[in-house]
Amino acid sequence: MDLNIYNHIIDVDVETILKKIQRENTSGYLKQIRRHGENIAITCPSHKDGKENNPSCYVYNSRLSENVPYGWYRCFTCGDQGPLYKLVSICLSLSIEDAKQWLIDNFSNTYSERLLSLPKIELNKKIETTKYLDESILDEFAYFHPYMFRRGLTEDVVIKFKIGYNKKTDSLTFPVWDEFGHLIGITERNVKTKYFHIPENMGKPVYLLNYINSNNITEVVVCESQLDALKCWTWGIPAIALFGTGSKKQYDILNKSGIRFYHLALDGDMAGEHGIKRFIKNIRNDVFVDIIQIPNGKDVNDLSKEEFLNLKRINKR
108-136 pLDDT, tens digit per residue, is 765 444 333 434 445 454 444 457 899 99
* Predicted pLDDT of residue 250: 94
Q: What is the pLDDT of residues 264-285, one digit of tens each?
A: 999 999 889 999 999 999 999 9
Burial class (CB in 10 A: 0-12, 13-18, 19+), 35: exposed
- Confidence label for 39 from pLDDT (cuts 50, 70 and 90): confident
Residue 170 has pLDDT above 70, yes or no: yes
Residue intervals of the chain classified under CATH 3.90.580.10 are 3-111
- Confidence label for 37 from pLDDT (cuts 50, 70 and 90): confident
Residue intervals of the chain classified under CATH 3.40.1360.10 are 135-315
* Predicted pLDDT of residue 128: 45
Mean pLDDT of the 45-62 span? 87
- Confidence label for 62 from pLDDT (cuts 50, 70 and 90): low
In this structure, the dihedral spanned by the alpha carbons of residues 200, 202, 206 and 211, taken in order and rounded to 10 degrees, is: -140
* Predicted pLDDT of residue 113: 41
* Predicted pLDDT of residue 65: 46
* Predicted pLDDT of residue 53: 87
- How many whole angstroms separate alpha carbon 202 and alpha carbon 186? 9
- Confidence label for 104 from pLDDT (cuts 50, 70 and 90): confident
Residue 63 has pLDDT above 70, yes or no: no
Residue 314 has pLDDT above 90, yes or no: no
The residue among 6 and 150 whose pLDDT is bigger is: 150
Residue 229 has pLDDT above 60, yes or no: yes
The residue among 82 and 238 whose pLDDT is bigger is: 238
Identify the CATH number of the domain defined by range 3-111: 3.90.580.10
The residue among 68 and 183 whose pLDDT is bigger is: 183
Contact (CB, 8 A) for 52 and 44: yes
Whole-number mean pLDDT of the chain? Answer: 86
Contact (CB, 8 A) for 299 and 225: yes
- Confidence label for 292 from pLDDT (cuts 50, 70 and 90): very high
Pairing of strands 239-241, 3-5: unpaired
* Alpha helices (runs of H) in the chain, residue ranges in sequence order: 14-24, 84-92, 96-107, 146-150, 155-160, 209-214, 226-234, 248-255, 270-282, 305-315
* Predicted pLDDT of residue 130: 55
- How many whole angstroms separate alpha carbon 50 and alpha carbon 72? 18
In the chain, % of residues over pLDDT 90: 57
Amino acid, res. 199: P
Write down the architecture of domain 135-315 according to CATH: 3-Layer(aba) Sandwich (3.40)
- Confidence label for 20 from pLDDT (cuts 50, 70 and 90): very high
Contact (CB, 8 A) for 261 and 290: yes
- Confidence label for 288 from pLDDT (cuts 50, 70 and 90): very high
